[in-house]
Structure 1
Amino acid sequence: MTKAPIFEINDSDGKPFKMEDHFPMVLYFYPKDSTSGCTTEAKEFTALIPEFQKLGYDVVGVSRDSEKSHQNFICRYTLAITLLSDPEEKACKAYDVIKEKNMYGKKVMGVVRSTFLIDKDGNLVKEWRKVKAAGHAQAVLDFIKNPEAAEA
């Protein structure tokens, strides 16, 4: 099994977030606070937080947005997930989620929506890349509950 890359960046309150203190976890990367897809994904993860917590999992979102942007995003949508600020792209690079994207006909480097499931020992159990926001949180939860069925 592959070890998950470890990083330490700040949460929305400016406090250092130590990954190993939060295993097992669902770690998801998203492009930008308060955009439609990212809001959908954050709200769906928030709605399922009690179920993730029952199974022992933390849900952590990462974007390149500032801590202040994260605070506004959390307040505006009453989010119950931890958001990490990665303006220097430390975490994004560690998980290889910065890719060339086509924005309105222009090539830009951006975060590709991706999720990583990390077990209690820090092993990378599953990764989802280029995911669609709607319904993704439920798909991750379904996989945690029953990995064999979710693979079918």
Structure 2
Amino acid sequence: MSVSIGQPVPDFTATATGDTTVTLSELKGRQVVVYFYPKASTPGCTTEGGDFRDRREAFDAANTVILGVSRDGIRAQVNFKAKQDFNFELVSDKDETVCGIFDVIKLKKLYGKEHLGIERSTFLIDAEGRLAREWRGVKVPGHAQEVLEAAQALHAG
């Protein structure tokens, strides 16, 4: 069961880069972008992360925290963040707890083989912890800008 627009997002705590754990309820009072990507250090995920990185100041101005989430282990996330100079934390969701809240694990096909993987998706949570917007089956070009504009509009009220 996934959270729906207007509903409170269930609290979660997850291991993140920077030797931190992220707890959603501790971010109350700020908007939160949670974007899910299939795999660290792959081309599309690198581009998407870079697009969020390059807009970080504008997200900050809109009182919005950015969190990238994948099923990669914390070491892979730390390396990915360092190599790409990401200025936000990446969450390691190996047990798929956060993925489950947002229902982003989907049956995918790669080279004719089916497997379960993360569907590239982004969620915007308002300052009260409710789901404000969702983007599923995301195409990377232009996406971070669209999310930024939604965060700015939400922040402006």
Unaligned 5+ runs, structure 1: 148-152
Equivalent residue, structure 2, for 1:2:
7
> Residue 127 of structure 1 aligns to a residue in which SS?
strand
Equivalent residue, structure 1, for 2:64:
57
**1:40-51, aligned counterparts within 5 Å?**
40-51=47-58
> Residue 32 of structure 1 aligns to a residue in which SS?
coil
Partner of residue 140 from structure 2, selected from 112, 133, 138: 133
Cα distance, 1:13 vs structure 2: 3.6
Cα distance, 1:43 vs structure 2: 0.3
> Residue 88 of structure 1 aligns to a residue in which SS?
coil
TM-score, with structure 1 as normaliser? 0.92
User: Counterparts of 1:14 and 1:98 in 2: how far apart (Å)?
Assistant: 26
Moved >4 Å (runs of 4+): none
> Residue 124 of structure 2 aligns to a residue in which SS?
strand
User: Counterparts of 2:21 and 2:146 in 1: how far apart (Å)?
Assistant: 29
User: Counterparts of 2:12 and 2:99 in 1: how far apart (Å)?
Assistant: 10
Partner of residue 146 from structure 1, selected from 142, 153, 156: 153
Partner of residue 12 from structure 1, selected from 11, 17, 26: 17
Equivalent residue, structure 1, for 2:75:
68
Unaligned 5+ runs, structure 2: 1-5
Amino acid of the residue matched to residue 25 of structure 1?
V
The percentage of aligned residue pairs carrying the same residue is 39
Task: Give the aligned CA root-mean-square deviation in angstroms.
Answer: 1.2
Asked if structure 1 preserves the Cα contact closer than 8 Å seen for 2:18 and 2:89, the reply is no
Asked if structure 1 preserves the Cα contact closer than 8 Å seen for 2:59 and 2:152, the reply is no
Partner of residue 26 from structure 2, selected from 16, 21, 34: 21
> Residue 83 of structure 2 aligns to a residue in which SS?
helix
Amino acid of the residue matched to residue 2 of structure 1?
Q
Cα distance, 1:14 vs structure 2: 4.2
User: Counterparts of 2:107 and 2:32 in 1: how far apart (Å)?
Assistant: 27
User: Counterparts of 2:125 and 2:54 in 1: how far apart (Å)?
Assistant: 20
Asked if structure 1 preserves the Cα contact closer than 8 Å seen for 2:64 and 2:151, the reply is no
> Residue 146 of structure 1 aligns to a residue in which SS?
helix
Equivalent residue, structure 2, for 1:99:
106
Cα distance, 1:20 vs structure 2: 1.7
